[in-house]
Amino acid sequence: MRIPTVAALLLLTVCSAAVAGRQPEVNAPISRDDVRGIIAALRVITPKPVTLISSVYNPRWPHHTRSDIVSVLMGPSEELTGDSYTLEKKDGRWQITGKGTWIH
């Protein structure tokens, strides 16, 4: 194997690991443990990457951000469409309560 080929393979491996380990953007008042729990709950049904975890607001109390319900966008952010999920934390575990689609 030539040196440039080895260098290209090494670069590809490093870049793939960086993308695979990339954390989603989080716009919700949740802990890192919650982020891990949300990702784990979604991994049961899809290998797609989590792009964004957002708060869900209660319309009765517009200034109250819930920390037990989140909206999650899945798939690469450069795609034009992807899956979306609503998750709720019940008894300390994140559970999927809804599924939809997002369009960019």
Nearest-angstrom CA–CA distance, 15 and 35: 23
pLDDT, one tens digit per residue, over 5-62 is 433 333 333 333 334 567 899 999 999 999 999 999 999 999 999 999 999 887 787 6
Q: What is the pTM of this model?
A: 0.74
Give Rg (Cα) of the chain. Answer: 17
Write down all domains in the chain, each with its CATH number in brackets: 23-103 (3.10.450)
CA angle 101, 22, 83 (to 5 degrees): 5
Nearest-angstrom CA–CA distance, 57 and 27: 12
Nearest-angstrom CA–CA distance, 41 and 85: 11
